[in-house]
Amino acid sequence: MTPIPRLQKWDSTLDLLRDPYRFISRNCQNEQSDLFEARLLLQKTYCMRGQEAAQVFYDPDLFSRKGAAPKAVMKTLFGEGGVQSLDEDAHRHRKQMFLSIMTTEQIEQLRVLTERQLTAAVPHWKDMSEVPLYEEFQRVLTMAVCEWAGVPLADSEVRLRTKQLTSLFNDAAKIGMGHIRARLARRQTNAWITDLIQQIRDKQVSLPEHSPALKIAWHRNLKNELLEPQVAAVELLNLLRPVVAISVYMTLIAHALHFHPGYREKLKSGSDECETAFVQEVRRYYPFFPFTAAIVQTYFEWNGYEFPRGKRVLLDLYGTNHDSRIWKEPDLFQPDRFLQREPTPYDFIPQGGGEYAANHRCPGEWITVSLMKLTSRFLTQAIRYKVRDQKLEIDFSQMPALPRDQFVVSSVQAIGSVTASLSRSQRVRI
C-alpha cells in the first residue's frame, strides 16, 4: 500500500479553524496528493478532495455518518437524532420524508411567500439610513419559512425566532460565547418546536393537509412508530434552519452583483439559462459548507491507499468546487461555465454530493436554487440601492464566510416587481 501523507503538526485543529474553507485543498496541494492525514480534535483524520474522492465518499457501503460529526456540531447545527446521523435503510426512509415535502408545488409556495416578505420589507428599508442585508434576509426568510411550514409565528416573536434560528448555523462553529449562544438557541428552539409537535398530535393546532409541520409530526419510522417528539422537532428545525441559512447565499448574490455589475443587465433579460448559470456560479465560487464528515464502516482500498474501519474522513466541498482539474480558472467568477456543460453529482458539491434519495446530498438544494433565483431577480428588477464604502472582502476564517461588514446598502427604492411566477423548468432545475 502507498503511505498516506501526514501533516507534521501534532494537532492541526487551530489551523483548520483559522482557514476552514481552504485548509484541506492547501495541504493537498502542499502534499501533492488528494489525500492526507492530520490530527484534528485530537483524532487522526483523513482529509480528501476531488471528484474521485467524492464518488468514494458518497458510497453508502463504505462510509457511515453516525458519530462522524463532532458532538459540538450535533448539539448546535444539526440537532441530535436527525437525518444527518442516520445510515442505510433508516436514512433512506427518513430522507424520503424530506423528499416528499420538496414537491414543485411546495417549493413554488415557499418562493411566493418569500417574494411577498421581500416586497413587504422594501417600504421599511426605504426609511432606513442603512440596511444590513444579511440580517434583513434572515428576518424575511424566518417569516416566510414558518408560514410555509405551518409553524405559528406572532409578530412579537419574529425577532426572537430569527435570532435563534440564525444562531444555529451562524454561531455553531464559533469558540467561546458564540458557541454558547448556539447551544442556548438549540435548547430554546428544540423546546419551541417540540411543544408545537405535541400540540399537533393532541389536535390543539389545525394545519393545512400538506403542511410540512403536519407531515413531520405524523411521520413514522421503519418500526411504524411515531418519532419521539424531540426528534420530530429536530427534523422540523432541519427545514427551518437551512432555509434561514439561505440568507448567506442571498447576501453573496448581492456581493457578486456588486463586483460583477455586467451581469445585472444579463439577468434583467429574464433568460432562464443566464439566471441558472449565475446562481450556480455563486454556489460554486463562494464558500458555504467547507467540508463534510463520515466514518469508514468497512475496510477498503482506494488508489493504493488503505482506509481502515472506524477512520474519520473529511471531504473538501469548497476545494472540490475549486479544483482546477474540474473547473477552468476556478478562482474567477465565470457563470458562463455552466452554459457549457452540466455538472455531475460529484464535481459540483456545494451542498453535498451523490444522489438525493440514496446519499447525504441535501434535498433542500432545490429550495436554495429557487430562492437564489428569486433574489437575483429582486435585486436587479425590484429595487435600486447604493453600496456605501465598507469592508467587502470575504472573511474565510468564519463559518459561514461572508463579507466582513456583511454587505450594507442604503437609499433603497422600489423600481418594479419580480415576475409573479417562474416556469416549471425554472422552479425545479438543479
Residues 6+ apart with CB under 8 A from 100: 215
Question: Rounded CA gap, 143 and 145, in Å?
Answer: 6
Question: Rounded CA gap, 384 and 209, in Å?
Answer: 39
Question: Rounded CA gap, 190 and 202, in Å?
Answer: 18
pLDDT at position 91, please?
A: 83
Residues 6+ apart with CB under 8 A from 175: 17
Question: Rounded CA gap, 306 and 2, in Å?
Answer: 8
Per the CB < 8 A criterion, the answer to whether 34 and 48 are in contact is yes
pLDDT at position 421, please?
A: 37
Q: Which cell is 292 given?
A: 463534510
Rg of the chain (C-alpha set): 21
Domain boundaries, the chain: 13-428
Per the CB < 8 A criterion, the answer to whether 320 and 347 are in contact is yes
Q: Which of 200, 164, 21, 202 is nearest to 79 (CA)?
A: 164
The pairing of beta strand 312-316 with beta strand 43-48: parallel
Per residue in 382-392, is it b (16+ CB within 10 Å) or e — as a string?
bbebebeeeeb
Question: Rounded CA gap, 318 and 257, in Å?
Answer: 21
The Cα-based distances of 44 to 8, 85, 306 in angstroms read 12, 21, 14
Question: Rounded CA gap, 44 and 391, in Å?
Answer: 37
DSSP three-state, residue 401: coil
Considering the domain 13-428, what is its CATH architecture?
A: Orthogonal Bundle (1.10)
Question: Rounded CA gap, 366 and 271, in Å?
Answer: 19
Reading the chain (430 residues) residue by residue, the pLDDT tens digits are: 789 999 999 999 999 999 999 999 999 999 999 999 999 999 999 999 999 999 999 998 999 988 888 887 877 888 888 887 778 888 889 989 998 999 999 999 999 999 999 999 999 999 999 999 999 999 999 999 999 999 999 999 999 999 999 999 999 888 888 889 999 999 999 999 999 999 999 999 989 888 999 999 999 999 999 999 999 999 999 999 999 999 999 999 999 999 999 999 889 877 889 999 999 999 999 999 999 999 999 999 999 999 999 999 999 999 999 999 999 999 999 999 999 888 999 999 999 888 765 555 667 789 999 999 999 999 999 999 999 999 999 999 999 999 999 999 999 999 988 754 344 344 433 3
H-type alpha helices, 32-132: 51-57, 71-73, 88-101, 104-126
Per the CB < 8 A criterion, the answer to whether 96 and 123 are in contact is no
Per the CB < 8 A criterion, the answer to whether 372 and 335 are in contact is no
Per the CB < 8 A criterion, the answer to whether 72 and 179 are in contact is yes
Residues 6+ apart with CB under 8 A from 224: none
Per the CB < 8 A criterion, the answer to whether 213 and 196 are in contact is yes
The pairing of beta strand 408-414 with beta strand 383-387: antiparallel
Question: Residue 296: in which H helix or E strand, if any?
Answer: strand 291-296
Question: Rounded CA gap, 430 and 428, in Å?
Answer: 6
pLDDT at position 1, please?
A: 77
Q: What's this model's pTM, rounded to 2 decimal places?
A: 0.93
pLDDT at position 419, please?
A: 58
Residue-by-residue DSSP string for 192-252 = HHHHHHHHHHTT-S---TT-HHHHHHT-B-TTS-BPPHHHHHHHHHHHHHHHHHHHHHHHH
Sign of the dihedral defined by the CA atoms of residues 156, 162, 168, 174, in that order:
negative
Question: Residue 149: in which H helix or E strand, if any?
Answer: helix 133-149
Question: Rounded CA gap, 23 and 17, in Å?
Answer: 9
Q: Which cell is 403 given?
A: 463579507
Q: Which cell is 174 given?
A: 464559533
DSSP three-state, residue 45: strand
For Cα atoms 366, 323, 282, give the angle at the middle one, nearest 5 degrees: 35
Paired residues of 383 in beta bridges: 414
pLDDT at position 423, please?
A: 43
